[in-house]
Amino acid sequence: MLPFLSIVLAYLLGSIPFGYLLVRWRTGSDIRRAGSGNIGATNVFRTTSRAIGVATLVLDALKAFLAVWIAARLTGGNELVTNLAALAALVGHAFPVFLNFKGGKAVASFLGAYLYLAPIPVAAVAVVFFATVWRTRFISLGSLMGAITFPLAVWIIQRPQHWPLIVCSILSCALVIWRHQGNIVRLRSGQEHAFSVRRARTS
């Protein structure tokens, strides 16, 4: 019963749409009607303010970290359940029950969940992410490169005996890549938005 409860709770925590809630609280507007329409930190940063964008990033990561932490506590650190909880938190963010199953791309939640489960591979992939964004100025491309390389980093660093982590990391990365389909199309056509701190409004 506790394993099932852990996974359900992880999904519900992942479903909390912090980007939507913070923008609604700060401006009274619906973030889904601004910019790309995404509820994630990048769109909040671009369309609302730096502070709210950063808060969205932190809270989206924290909710996934908390989801995995709770699962570990409830199940005595069961490796399969904690990894399924991480995946459930990402699914919750991408398909939140509180927003009619229309959510974000799960990158920040991915960061939070796997920061608990595999901090060293996450640190390695963070280098790939920041290097890609620094070179190209595309957050989406950095996220995609991170998602592609993360399972490999897990395999090399955590070793293949941790099969629940490897399998769930592959599924999680596949989810992130799938949620970036629109970005992939825009990258291929040269129409993707480049990231700039100056794009964010300070109001």
Q: Is 77 helix (H, G, I), strand (E, B) or coil?
A: coil
Yes or no: say if 19 and 47 are a contact pair by the CB < 8 Å rule. Answer: no
Cα(132)–Cα(160) distance, rounded to whole angstroms? 27
Cβ neighbours for 55, distance < 8 A, ≥ 6 positions apart = 18, 22
Question: Using one digit for the tens of pLDDT, what is the confidence trace for 94-153?
Answer: 999 999 999 999 999 999 999 999 999 999 999 999 999 999 999 999 999 999 999 999
Residue 197 confidence (pLDDT): 59
Tokens 């973030």 belong to residue: 31
Those residues with Cβ within 8 angstroms of residue 105's Cβ, 6 or more apart along the chain or in another chain: 38, 40, 94, 143, 176, 179, 180
7 CA to centre of own chain? 17
The CA distances from residue 92 to 80, 184, 187, in Å, are 18, 22, 26
> Which pLDDT value is given to residue 70?
97
Residues 6+ apart with CB under 8 A from 17: 39, 96, 98, 99, 103, 104
CA distance linking residue 124 with residue 50, whole number of Å: 26
SS3 10: helix
Write down the pTM of the prediction. Answer: 0.91
Helix, strand or coil, per DSSP, at residue 133:
helix
Instruction: Say how far apart CA 37 and CA 60 lie, in whole Å.
Output: 17
* CA–CA gap between residue 98 and residue 100 (Å, rounded): 6
Taking 50 as the pLDDT cut, the residues of the chain under it are 199-203
194, 138 contact by CB (below 8 A): yes
Contacts of residue 18, Cβ cutoff 8 Å, sequence gap at least 6 = 55, 56, 59, 60, 63
